[in-house]
Every structure is written in C-alpha cells, then in structure tokens.
Amino acid sequence: MPTSTVENYLRRLYLELRGRADPLLPLGRLARAMGVVPGTATAMVKALADAGLVQYEPRGGVGLTARGEQLALHVVRRHRLVELFLVQVLGLDWSVVDAEAEDLEHAVSERVLERIDALLGRPKVDPHGDPIPTSRGQIEEPRRISLADCPPGRSQRIAQVLDQDAAFLSFVQRQGLAPGAIVTVVRRQNAADAVSVRVGQQAPVALGLSAAAKVLVEPASAPRHLTSPRRHSERRDSRSHTLPRKRRPFPAVS
C-alpha cells in the first residue's frame, strides 16, 4: 500500500494539474504546494517515477501516469467523502474539515469508506462543491465559470469554492456565498479590480476579482446536487446532467 506521503503527493499533483493544458507541472510549483524545498520534492518525484506513478522530465516537470492518476483519484475520493462526513454527521464547520481530512483520509478503510458513502446518499460533491470520484474511478467535471467572469444581471447559483483556506471559507460564508446560494453580478468595476454581487435580495457586496475568481457558479436553473456547508439531514438530489469523464477502475486494495 502507498504511504501517506506518497498519497499526499499524488493527490496534490492531481489537483495542481487539473484544468491545465500542459500535462506536466513545474517541479518548483509542486514543491511550493507541498510546503517542502525543491530538493525534497525532487527526491520524492524520482521515487514515484521509479514506481511507475508519475512521469518526470528534469527540465519539463512532473505528470501523473495512468496508474498514478487512478491512485490520486482514490485519495481524492476518500478526502472529499471524509470532509462531507465531518460536516454532515459530526457537525464540524466547513472551514476546518480540509485539514482534518488530511489526517483521516489515510486511516479510513475501504469498508468504512463504502459505509460512509452509503450513509451520505452517494453524494456527488463535497461541502465545498468539489466533485467526488466514484468507487470505479469516474469523476464529473461540470462546466462552470467564476464570479469574476460572470455576466452582469443573470441569476447564478454558487456551485464550488476553490480556495480551501479556512479564513477564505469563513469570509465567503459571512457574505452568503456558500454553495447553493443564488447570486447576481450587479456590475463589474474594472478600475477597482472588483465585482459587485447581490446575494438573493440583499444589498450588493463588493468582491475583489482575485476572490471572485475562486467562487464558481452555474445557471440557477441547473439541477442542484450541492450540499450545504452546515450540518443538515437532507438527502441531496443525486441526479446529474453532465457526462462523466471516463476513468479506469481503481486498482484493487487488499
């Protein structure tokens, strides 16, 4: 079985590569994401390459092999299901569960994870709106835009918050910008690098473009299968109108 360090590297590499056109990530960026010096990251990447989990080019960067991606998605699934369990069952605030899941994801067995998945109703997303891979290695990546790019005057639903920093999550929740909220961009203030956003019928609030770029939305008319960041007992709508990106099944876990 992979060590927790290996799992952390694979998950972080998958997240950093998501949405990039280049299949290779600069090693320096991976080191910063992992909070280590470049030499430490290089040594680990070489070990992962020897194990067939990553592709490493000294001057090009590092990318996931098919096997490495399968394992990365397996870790992502555990992490996001644990986050949702901590919020919905244990009642923890969504701003703290990312750090808690970092530790717990390595200790959860497949048997326990399956029971958690069933208990939560086979959820599609975690408390932050991030898609949860299935046990067969499939993941849905709906097309979404950020509040920074959202056209003014059109109702949208908050679908996903990209930044997992506790302070940022607390900020967006205070502003009413948690997943599920209906919002409208009132106007874009390019000179101030800001957008004015109305949540429901409340007075508009101003967001910097950098913060707005971290909040993804979808049309308000789209089928909803998001979760509230607070604890509740509702079963979410598990239907999806997006096509899953096919993945190979996860490797067997003994």
Question: At 228, is the pLDDT very low, low, confident or very high (cuts 50, 70, 90)?
Answer: low
Q: Which pLDDT value is given to residue 225?
A: 62
Give the tens place of pLDDT for each residue, 84-114.
999 999 999 999 999 999 989 999 999 999 9
Query: Residue 246: pLDDT above 60?
Result: no
Q: Which pLDDT value is given to residue 126?
A: 96
Q: Which pLDDT value is given to residue 227?
A: 58
Find tokens 């709106």 and name the residue: 129
Query: Residue 60: pLDDT above 80?
Result: yes
The answer to whether the beta carbons of residues 134 and 245 sit under 8 Å apart is: no
Q: Is residue 252 part of a domain?
A: no
Q: Which domain holds residue 210?
A: 145-219
3 state DSSP class of 233: coil
DSSP class per residue in 99-145: HHHHHHTTT--HHHHHHHHHHTTS-SB-TTSPBPPPTTS-B-----E
Q: Is residue 31 part of a domain?
A: yes
Q: How many helices (H) and strands (E) does the chain have?
A: 8, 8
Q: Is residue 207 part of a domain?
A: yes
Give the tens place of pLDDT for each residue, 118-130.
999 999 999 999 9
Given 28, 48, 64, the domain boundary residue is 64
User: For residue 166, what is the domain's CATH number?
Assistant: 2.30.30.90
Give the tens place of pLDDT for each residue, 149-205.
988 988 999 999 999 899 999 999 999 999 999 999 999 887 788 999 999 888 898
Q: Is residue 10 part of a domain?
A: yes
The whole-model pTM stands at 0.82
User: 1: which 2 tokens?
Assistant: 């079985």
Q: Is residue 36 part of a domain?
A: yes
**How many structural domains does the chain have?**
2
Q: Is residue 30 part of a domain?
A: yes
User: For residue 32, what is the domain's CATH number?
Assistant: 1.10.10.10
How many percent of the chain have pLDDT more than 70? 87
